[in-house]
Chains A and B, each alone.
Chain A
Amino acid sequence: MLRETMHIPDGYLSPSTCVSLAAAAAPFWYVALKRVKSAFDARLIPLISLFAAFSFVIMMFNLPLPGGTTGHAVGMGVASIVLGPWASILAISIALTIQAVFFGDGGITAIGANCFNMAIAGSLVGYATYRLVAWRAGLGSARRVVAAGLAGYTAINVAALCAAIEFGIQPLLFHDASGAPLYAPYPLRIAIPAMMLGHLTLAGLAELVISSGMVAYLQRTDPGLLRLTAPDAPVSDDRSLTVAARTVAARTVAVRQMPTARKLWLALAALLILTPLGILAVGSAWGEWSARDFSDPQMRREIAAASRNHAPPPAAPRGLERLSSIWTAPLSRYAPSFIRGAAFGYLVSAMVGVGVIIVLALLLNWVLARLPAAAGRRRRKSFVEKTARGLLEATGHALFAEDMAATSGFLQRLDPRVKLAGIGALIVAAVAVHRLWVLAGILALGIVLAVVSHIPIRLLTARVWLAVLAFTGVIALPAVFLTPGAPVWRLPLLEWPVTQQGLRSAGFLILRAETAATLAMLLILTTLWTRLLRAVRYFRAPVVVVAILGMTYRYMFLFLATARDMFESRESRIVGVLQPGDRRRLAAASAGVLLGKTLQVSGEVHMAMQARGFRGEIRLLDELQMRPNDWLRLAAFVGAATLAVWLGR
């Protein structure tokens, strides 16, 4: 779940936001391509492909974190340290694209946004942090390990902040006639603390563990790999360096203990307190009116304007008022005056509110995660086993999709270009429409397409509908209470109002995410990757990009298998329970071994390409031809999408 908060799904961002972010990413991609091409020349294609495949596999690693949890890293810290920021931008972008297009992780319309946040902002910030903190320290110094950890930590948090800002501006800019937000429903003051809470604590640590662990591992085994991004480091004899690096690395890992679980919970508590403080500090913004604002005529006009002239309820939502008084009441006699004030009451109630929402979200997530897999005994699995299983599942899903694509069904028989453009148009329509019933209609069309393509509905239920509900449902739930508007029902005891706008907003978010994910899954399950690549090529995607995408996918399987073998052989040799530090070191060492293999294979692949006449400029065979029938089908898809957008405008 933590990993997926970073991968923005379809339906959370408006089409215009997606387009703007893709446009913002474009110049970075262009510069990165130019820079990397001049730095690596003909090695560009194999190096970026293999590194993207490596990043993809790294994202599957289940990293042990303090407090007994595990998390996933994106790996932009590692990538920018080993390859430099520009190559890292390309490699991570490719990995994210494959995740979105092939594994449904992150939205297809949100690829630009995800690349902007993680690949671009993440790589650049991670690299800058590493260079600044490491400064001119020797390749084997402990300082580089710390710098790498910080680089990973800041990179993921900057990416999360970007995503939070993107989420936060949605309700300000996009709402329907009743004032219900059409996309991500939370304003900046909620989106930022909610996103940062998870990333400053858990997800940030995952990135920290992998980045620092990898650099410590490379210092021991192959410090030369760190040279590219450390031109200022003193040059010393390689052999003695390796020995020195070994002792230093061993010492740092021992000294640099991770924060304990207790510290982690303290940090979480601090954030709980700070979150509403932040809300108070900024004053009343859209979505955070205090109880008093509702009776102030000036404020009422402002709220109405912000809600598109939908008059706010005449009195403050009773729950808010009551909560404020509950917390101040018992204290009123003895406490200093400021504690009795409305501000403190609101602060405490907001704290409780945030806490309740987090608990509810975790609970719902826990319940839903157990639904499809209710059968079978559960036992606590080691992270090694979990990772090995995750890697096996990823391979399994991909192979299953390939098998599915080879069967005969309506979509399977469709020309890949028609499918790519047609389903793409429907996904865009699903993200663009402003009416719930039109959205439901597109979802129904998706289900019909699934049925005529012989895709088992049970599979869609488990892999798409329940999975999306578990994730988006948790995110959408608090919006039901937090969105200002006309209350339709009140939660017993707490008296929190369920607003009509809140319900609509949650409905939009969930239905959009479900519809887009269903359509994306249809594309994934009915199209062979090779055919999809040819379709992409037909739409004039740069030949370099198509070649890299193809090669990444191909070596992704090799690395998934390599990583799986590594973890399985570890598992067979582990007796007893590993200490947390050992587990982290093991994960980092596995990533390091994989990195070594990545670079070795990329060098050899480059030679194999050269041996068959490759000089840096790749050529592909374009063999697809559109037939009249294909045009007809494409017109039908685009027509349906256009109709939906028109009806749902």
Chain B
Amino acid sequence: MTELAFDVREVSYRYNQVAALNGLSMQVKRGERVALLGANGSGKSTLLRLLAGLCFPEHGEITFLGESLTEQRLQDEEFFFGFRRRVGLVFQNADVQLFSPSVFDELAFGPLQLRWPAPKIRERVGEVLRAMDIAHLQDRAPHRLSGGEKKRVALASVLVLDPEVLLLDEPSGALDPSSQARIVDFLVSCANGSKTVIIATHDLDTLEDIADRCYVFANGRVAGEGTPLEILHNVELLERAKLIRPHAHVHGEGVVQPHPHVHRHEGS
């Protein structure tokens, strides 16, 4: 039996009186790649922050590897460092994640806080810089990076700790096709079960490559669950979650005919 990485049970969370999550339940197994689908404001980012132990649910419970994730539990230094080492979150807004003066400092930040010895930090940071193909940027200040470079550095700043669980908030949002392909390639490389990956996205095009299983969110609740193919064929569900919209367009030289559908390219 595969162990559960995260077990989310009946979780509710509010931002200033506005409900973001509304009795949401879901499970993620170790080594699984799960996509969270949903329109803007459907609670994906909130859930990722709860999973990363940055906010805590008002009702319900979240467990990580069987251990309950609460504010008190994270006060414990040993558990805190252990958890941070194993769970990494890449924020949607790279500007928020890149707060250090240079790329090198950015990558060194996590290991430094986790009190790794300095020589080990230098070695590991160098390794990740090369692996992510950003070694030439190491002395660059964040305001001197392009959007795609920022995303790569943000991802690298989390990968430097080699976490077992990666939480990604729209990793390929607003990127050019080549930068997007790099991120997708990386996610494909995680398919062997080496990492548990949870990705919040509303990009349906790459779904089959990056995820083994999907949850569809609507109004702070799970509206549907299944493999990427099952979800992509459930037009009614996608429409309800506002991920697609019936629209009119022309096929070939045919008539204009309103019909909902999902664009996919077979065999990719």
Seen from chain A, the residues whose Cβ lies within 8 Å of a Cβ on chain B are 46, 238, 399, 402, 528-530, 533, 550-551, 553-555, 557-558, 561, 601, 604-605, 607-615, 618-621, 623
Contact = CB atoms under 8 A, between A and B. Distances in A.
B52 A553 contact: no
B141 A611 contact: no
B143 interface: yes
Contacts of A610: 54
A615 B80 contact: yes
B267 to A, nearest CB: 38
Contact of A554 (B112, B143, B161): B143
A530 B118 contact: no
A523 to B, nearest CB: 17
Given A613-B84, A615-B113, A608 B99 contact: yes
B112 A611 contact: no
Given A604-B93, A609-B99, A612-B158, A529 B49 contact: no
A558 B139 CA distance: 18
Contact of A612 (B113, B121, B142): B113
B109 interface: yes
Interface in B91-142: 91, 93, 95-102, 105, 108-110, 112-115, 118, 121, 139, 141-142
A611 B113 CA distance: 10
A620 B85 CA distance: 18
A98 to B, nearest CB: 12
Contacts of A554: 98-101, 141-143
Given A46-B99, A530-B102, A550-B101, 10 more contacts: A238-B17, A530-B139, A554-B100, A607-B91, A609-B113, A612-B157, A613-B80, A613-B84, A613-B114, A621-B105
A623 B105 CA distance: 11
A554 B141 CA distance: 8
B121 A608 contact: no
A530 B141 contact: yes
A553 B101 contact: yes
B66 to A, nearest CB: 21
Nearest to B87: A611
A68 B2 CA distance: 73
Contacts of B91: 604, 607-608, 611
24 contacts: A402-B141, A528-B139, A530-B102, A551-B99, A554-B98, A554-B142, A554-B143, A557-B143, A604-B93, A604-B96, A607-B54, A607-B96, A608-B89, A608-B96, A609-B109, A611-B88, A611-B89, A611-B91, A612-B84, A613-B80, A613-B81, A613-B114, A615-B77, A623-B118
Contacts of B81: 613
A615 B84 CA distance: 11
A621 B112 contact: yes
A304 B47 CA distance: 80
Interface string B20-58: 000000000000000000000000000001001010000
Interface string B175-208: 0000000000000000000000000000000000
B49 A612 contact: no
Shortest 9 CB-CB contacts between residues of A and residues of B = A613-B113, A557-B143, A612-B110, A604-B96, A613-B84, A530-B101, A550-B101, A619-B112, A611-B89
Contacts of A609: 99, 109, 113
A45 to B, nearest CB: 9
A323 to B, nearest CB: 57
Nearest to B167: A611
A609 B110 CA distance: 8
Contact of A558 (B17, B77, B105, B143): B143
Contacts of A611: 52, 54, 84, 88-89, 91, 158
A533 B108 contact: no
Contacts of A528: 139, 141
A254 B139 CA distance: 51
B154 to A, nearest CB: 9
Interface of B: 17, 49, 52, 54, 77, 80-81, 84-85, 88-89, 91, 93, 95-102, 105, 108-110, 112-115, 118, 121, 139, 141-144, 157-158, 161
B121 A619 contact: no
A530 to B, nearest CB: 4
Nearest to B158: A612
A173 B105 CA distance: 47
Contacts of B96: 601, 604-605, 607-608
Most interface-central of B96, B109, B121 (chain A CB within 10 A)? B96
B86 to A, nearest CB: 11
B93 A550 contact: no
A403 to B, nearest CB: 10
B88 to A, nearest CB: 7
Most interface-central of A554, A612, A615 (chain B CB within 10 A)? A612
A416 to B, nearest CB: 13
B105 A619 contact: no
A501 B79 CA distance: 72
A632 to B, nearest CB: 26
A621 B91 CA distance: 24
A613 to B, nearest CB: 3
Given A402-B141, A529-B141, A621-B112, A612 B161 contact: yes
A604 B77 CA distance: 22
A619 B116 CA distance: 11
A13 B52 CA distance: 52
A228 to B, nearest CB: 16
A612 B52 CA distance: 10
A613 B160 CA distance: 12
Contacts of A608: 89, 91, 96-97, 99
Nearest to A602: B96
A238 B18 CA distance: 13
A531 to B, nearest CB: 9
Given A554-B100, A619-B115, A613 B54 contact: no
Contacts of A618: 113
A605 B99 contact: yes
Contacts of A553: 101
A610 B80 CA distance: 10
Contact of A530 (B89, B105, B121, B158): B105
A46 B108 CA distance: 18
A610 B118 CA distance: 20
A70 B99 CA distance: 34
Given A558-B143, A604-B93, A607-B54, A550 B110 contact: no
Given A613-B113, A621-B121, A533 B143 contact: no
Nearest to B109: A612
Contacts of B97: 608
B217 to A, nearest CB: 20
Contacts of A605: 96, 99
A561 B259 CA distance: 42
A557 B105 CA distance: 18
A529 B54 contact: no
Contacts of B113: 609, 612-615, 618-619
Nearest to B142: A554
Most interface-central of B85, B110, B161 (chain A CB within 10 A)? B110
Nearest to B118: A621
Contacts of B109: 609, 612, 614
Contacts of A238: 17
Most interface-central of B93, B98, B108, B113 (chain A CB within 10 A)? B113
A620 B143 contact: no
Given A607-B49, A613-B84, A558 B158 contact: no
Nearest to A611: B89
A460 to B, nearest CB: 25
A533 B54 contact: no
A533 B141 CA distance: 13
A500 to B, nearest CB: 50
